[in-house]
Amino acid sequence: MTARPRHPRGTERYAKDLLDVATMPQTQVLALLRLASTLKKKQQRGVPHRLLRGKTLGLLFQKPSTRTRVSFEAGMNQLGGHALVLPMSDIQLSRGETVADTARVLSRYLDGIVIRTYDHAIVEEWSTEATMPVINGLTDHSHPCQALSDLLTIQELKGRLKGLSLAYIGDGNNVANSLIEAGAKVGMRVVIGCPSGYQPDQRVIDRARIDGHATGASIEVVENPLVAVKEADVVYTDVWISMGREREQARRLRILSPYQLNHRLLQRAKPDAIVMHCLPAHRGEEISADVLDGSQSVVIHQAENRLHMQKAILTQLLSLKKGAR
């Protein structure tokens, strides 16, 4: 008989939804890291952990996905539950039904939902209207599941998080926003190297600096990529042309070309620095092939941890009482 998941005291203060890392208390973030590590070890040893037997997860994706969709589907199955894909074209949202009506109805059918969309306001509306947990699978503003799984990878490979320096190079996009929020929760130094006009959301930076007062984290934004990566423990980059930005391709390639993560840039980091990229990658654009495929790259390890962190997120949120805030 599979034991029900146990949670530490105080889980009534946990966020019902995962919209951004910033909205989660630090205790919840740290609990997710512990739970993900435990579930990963169980998976590696072949120990059954069907903690969500009888639960059903909805997946509502408006953007293409490989890692997010597969890791949530596979993770839900490994946890003993069922994942139900909801193509936008197949449900009444595509014909004008309101988010409010859809969220209220689906909350009666499902135990949680993952939404991957463009406008962050959409997941915020779902959170307001749904009584089930709402998980942000990616918006133009943030990618919290990615950042949380990245913390797991860094912790595994570096043995700690607090005090480490993470340099993010390139476009200050949704991934950069979430890495700033995540780093602030665990006491990291996060340095964003990006050109003027491509900085992360200033509101994200301001809030993260407030969180950093309690954790010892620091957030910096610089234009010079050589300055950003100096003595970094982790060097991170992401695509320059995110989904929905294709019309800006020529301009972005021109402006961001000095921010390519290549061997010359990597040499400015610590000798044992790890290279991270959330994938998919474009070799020769935001990262050179020799760095992406080199000995310091941990991108496959990083991608695997999406599965384990997704399982921790599902276990934590879907085990909370429905409707709890």
Which of these is catalytic: 62, 141, 278, 310? Answer: 278
194 is catalytic: no
pLDDT for 64 equals 86
Which of these is catalytic: 28, 62, 78, 146? Answer: 146
pLDDT for 90 equals 87
Domains and CATH numbers, the chain: 11-142+305-318 (3.40.50.1370), 145-303 (3.40.50.1370)
- Dig out the tokens for 8 from the structure: 């530490």
pLDDT tens-digit readout, 54-66: 999 999 999 889 9
pLDDT for 34 equals 98
Helix (H) or strand (E) holding 58: strand 56-61
pLDDT tens-digit readout, 73-84: 999 999 999 999
Taking 90 as the threshold, does the pLDDT of residue 112 lie above it?
yes
Interval 227-256 mean pLDDT: 93
pLDDT band at 103 (very low <50, low <70, confident <90, very high): very high
Closest CA to 5 of 40, 39, 47: 39
pLDDT for 8 equals 47
Which of these is catalytic: 145, 306, 308, 310? Answer: 306
pLDDT band at 27 (very low <50, low <70, confident <90, very high): very high
Closest CA to 182 of 206, 157, 161: 161
pLDDT band at 322 (very low <50, low <70, confident <90, very high): low
Interval 226-254 mean pLDDT: 93
pLDDT band at 269 (very low <50, low <70, confident <90, very high): very high
DSSP, res 247:
G
252 is catalytic: no
Interval 279-307 mean pLDDT: 98
167: phi then psi, degrees, rounded to nearest 5: -105, 125
Interval 128-139 mean pLDDT: 98
pTM above 0.75, yes or no: yes
pLDDT band at 324 (very low <50, low <70, confident <90, very high): very low
pLDDT band at 94 (very low <50, low <70, confident <90, very high): confident
Pairing of strands 189-193, 165-169: parallel
pLDDT tens-digit readout, 5-26: 444 444 448 999 999 999 999 9
Average of per-residue pLDDT values in the chain: 94
- Report yes or no: 314 and 79 within 8 Å, Cβ to Cβ: yes
Which of these is catalytic: 143, 189, 277, 308? Answer: 143
pLDDT tens-digit readout, 30-55: 999 999 999 999 999 999 999 999 99
pLDDT tens-digit readout, 137-165: 999 999 999 999 999 999 999 999 999 99
Helix (H) or strand (E) holding 114: strand 112-116
Q: For 255-309, what is the HEC assignment?
A: HHHHHCECHHHHCCCCCCCEEEECCCCCECCCECHHHHCCCCECHHHHHHHHHHH
pLDDT for 19 equals 98
Residue written as token pair 């080199």: 294
Closest CA to 113 of 126, 128, 99, 98: 126
Interval 294-319 mean pLDDT: 98
Which of these is catalytic: 211, 238, 308, 316? Answer: 238
- Going 249 to 254 to 256 to 261, the CA torsion angle's sign is positive
Interatomic CA distance for residues 229 and 318, integer angstroms? 39
pLDDT for 1 equals 40
pLDDT for 323 equals 54
Q: How many angstroms separate the Cα of 222 from the Cα of each of 128, 140, 196, 197? A: 36, 22, 9, 12
Which of these is catalytic: 67, 116, 141, 308? Answer: 116
- Report yes or no: 240 and 256 within 8 Å, Cβ to Cβ: yes
238 is catalytic: yes
As separate numbers, helices (DSSP H) first and strands (DSSP E) second, the chain gives 12, 9
- Going 255 to 278 to 15 to 135, the CA torsion angle's sign is positive
